[in-house]
Amino acid sequence: FESDLTVVREADDSFYIITATAQQLKDFDWISRHIPESSDAKLQDISEEFAVLSVMGPQSREKLTPLCDVDLSNESFPFGTSQIVEIAGVSVRAIRISYVGELGWELHVKSDNAVALWDALMPIRPIGNHAISAMRIEKGYRALGHELSAGESPLEAGLGFAICWDKEFTGKSALHAQKEAGVIRRLVSFVLDDSAVILWGGEPILRGGEIAGYTSSACYSPTLGRSVAMGYIKQATPFKASDLEAGDFEIVQLGKRYRATPSFAAPYDPKRSKILC
């Protein structure tokens, strides 16, 4: 993985690119170096001109509707779309996307208007970074620097569904070869059986008593009432869907072993019904 970013088409000849945290300069450099010399394309960094406030949660539509000048229903504003809207008189680009596994919108606003938008949203309770992390881990959302890096492929990360094999892209031949051979290293979600144990990330994952990998992200999940984690495990043969059923998995915390239930699917809302409503 070179990055983890969102691309919004503003017009036939204009795109709005949102990079991951701390990836601003790296992404700008990579994209700049890969623009063909023969193309009529210009890349401009406007990061300092905008702020982003996100309204997420089951009640986000209900809370935003009285403040917004457009219909926020699923039919009029489906997941994965973007619109320019006014919220409490402030013009924003609203993007219906989620990194916490719930219904919600990212609100991209000019920096000069960020405080006014914040004040208008203040009846909605702010949350901190640990809450965001807990929700994205229980939803199985990967994070750059944890589950995603130059050392993992989309197939190993369980993101093969997002690959369009009909298009040409950098690294396609190597990725296709890995698909044909099968992966021997795979990202897995875990739910700890013991609800009293807290995981933080970096813990050894045991399979049949032997180390098979380490947790890449972990936290206590208030939704599930126990710790959840993600981590890469490795085996000698290519992974199959049934492989996790045969394994006896444990996670080591402070020198003690605790049974964990593995899954390729997200522990919370694997069918995405919460964000597609």
Q: Which pLDDT band, with edges at 50, 70 and 90, does 1 fall under?
A: confident
pLDDT at 47: 95
Domain ranges of the chain: 6-136, 137-263
pLDDT at 246: 78
Alpha-carbon span 194 to 49, nearest angstrom: 47
Q: Is the pLDDT of residue 247 over 90?
A: no
pTM exceeds 0.75, yes or no: yes
pLDDT at 256: 97
Q: Does domain 137-263 match CATH 2.40.30.110?
A: yes
Name the fold adopted by 6-136: Gyrase A; domain 2 (3.30.1360)
Range 216-244 average pLDDT: 95
Range 58-65 average pLDDT: 96
pLDDT at 241: 82
